[in-house]
Amino acid sequence: MSNGHFNIEAEQQLLGAILCDNSVFDLVSDLIEEDHFYDPLHARIFGICKARIVKQHLVSPVSLKYTLEGDEGLAQVGGPKYLARMAGSAIGKSTARDYSKIIVEGSVRRRLLEASSKASFDLNAGSEADEVRAGLLSALYALPEGHSEQSSVSLLKAVTRAVTQANEAYQGNTSFLKTGVPALDGVIKGLGPGDVMLLGGATSMGKTSLALEIAGNVAIKQKLHVGFWSLEMSDDQLATRMQSAWSRVPYAALRDAAAMDEADFRKWVDAGKEISSAPMRIIPKHIRDIAAGHAAMRRVKRELGGKLDLAIVGLLQLIRGTGKSRFEQMTEVSIGLKTLAGMLECPLIALVQLSRTIGERDDKRPQLSDIKETGQFENDADQVVFCHREGYWLQRQGPKLDKNGQITDGARTDWEADVAASNNVMEIIVRKNRHGRLAAAQVGFHDATNRFWDLSQSQEEGMY
């Protein structure tokens, strides 16, 4: 029985093949899951086969007879005899993947039909267009992907690709993206297509500033295409910060532009004209769920001529997921962003919030365990980079008190010296690097203007 949206015979024949030869499961396990089956009984049978085979237990009509004893669905179709009939209709191993694709295709068609029917019903019932659109995007995001891809690649093919990439890098034609921040590039050696780099820091450490610095380096200086999905700041706020860095005019001064020095205001406006032609597009913060973000970033890629060199998302914890618990929601968001980076075929930098308990520790340099919500963020990331400004904490702590609760002249002198040494300094700490070493490096950072520079040179010489 089949109608384009399901194929009962294909399900029976594939399950029969698995029951006759358990190695068939290994051929199709990367394509198909229980929820792809139309018949609930078939879904249960596949789930049982999967659970037993991964434990290296034999599955056959005889073994399933006892496992499914009392199953009402099996009883309705003839009991254990139905398992024997499935085994009798088994297909050969050579066609197992083709049959799996038929089953997955039916599942995709059913989900699309359900989503479109629900959208039509909701619209006729008076639902808001934005709500219906979000529901459609969520349904599209949940569709199975990659069922036509290879299940494995030969070592020869993989080695050939690696040699080609190495040869291109040796000749200076590397596909790895440089952030334009030498201290960071010296550690991570560039970002590859599909890489996800988490960029975190405690409040006011400058993670957004560093993300904007990287975006500017890539879009303005390298003339490469950047998509920036901002869930924390509006597009004009991001533009103001970028203009401030480029013009070296404090962005806070723009809140009272009438009181600005005319020369500074002119520099700021001229900087805006200079950077406005950069190939960068900003996704506004009213787009907040992962499915809508997927669609928006893919649209950005199309608007930039089908080429996207870097995607930036911030803040990660502000994205809405669909799980029941906060943990499930954030886990879905993390997996969704890793998937998005692969679909876009470019690196993705995601800003993350850290726990406020950092401020209660003596050593306030962030650790991986400080990332809020879920460990999935760390698991899915290829690089985890933290921003740390010791001067920020020193200024708020003040000089150390002696045993009498007093500040001595010596303590004040030491404190002032420490503050002066850490003034305008950001430490970039690489805590995870799937493709290289871990290290920390310092850069010059002026918070008021978002400016960065190489500390081995003067501010004027070392500007990126």
* CATH code (residue 86): 1.10.860.10
396 assigned to some structural domain: no
409 assigned to some structural domain: no
146 assigned to some structural domain: no
Q: What is the pLDDT of residue 136?
A: 77
2 assigned to some structural domain: no
121 and 207 part of one domain: no
Percent of the chain predicted with pLDDT > 90: 48
279 and 369 part of one domain: yes
What pTM did the predictor assign? Answer: 0.69
- The model's pLDDT over 106-146, given as tens digits with 9 standing for 90+, comes to 999 998 999 899 899 989 998 888 778 767 766 776 666 54
For residue 78, is pLDDT > 80?
A: yes
220 and 326 part of one domain: yes
- Residue 176 belongs to domain with CATH number: 3.40.50.300
Q: Tokens 């006759």 correspond to what residue?
A: 20
Q: What is the pLDDT of residue 209?
A: 93
78 assigned to some structural domain: yes
Q: What is the pLDDT of residue 167?
A: 72
286 and 377 part of one domain: yes
In 125-175, which residue ranges form alpha helices assigned H by DSSP? 129-141, 155-170
Binned at pLDDT 50, 70 and 90, residue 408 comes out as confident
More confident position, 455 or 322: 455
Structurally, the chain folds into a number of domains equal to: 2
Q: Determine contact, residues 96/27, Cβ cutoff 8 Å.
A: yes
114 and 177 part of one domain: no
332 assigned to some structural domain: yes
Q: For residue 453, give Cα distances in angstroms to 51, 213, 308, 424.
A: 55, 10, 26, 10
79 and 175 part of one domain: no
- Domain end residue (candidates: 74, 109, 141): 141
Host domain of residue 457: 165-388+424-462
Maximum Cα interatomic distance, the chain, rounded to a whole number of Å: 92
More confident position, 158 or 454: 454
CA 409 remoteness from chain centre: 50
306 and 436 part of one domain: yes
130 and 170 part of one domain: no
Closest CA to 439 of 449, 429, 448: 429
- Please give the mean pLDDT across all residues of the chain: 87
215 and 75 part of one domain: no
Q: What is the pLDDT of residue 183?
A: 93
451 contact partners, CB below 8 Å, separation of at least 6: 245, 248, 444, 445, 459, 463
For residue 150, is pLDDT > 60?
A: no
255 and 200 part of one domain: yes
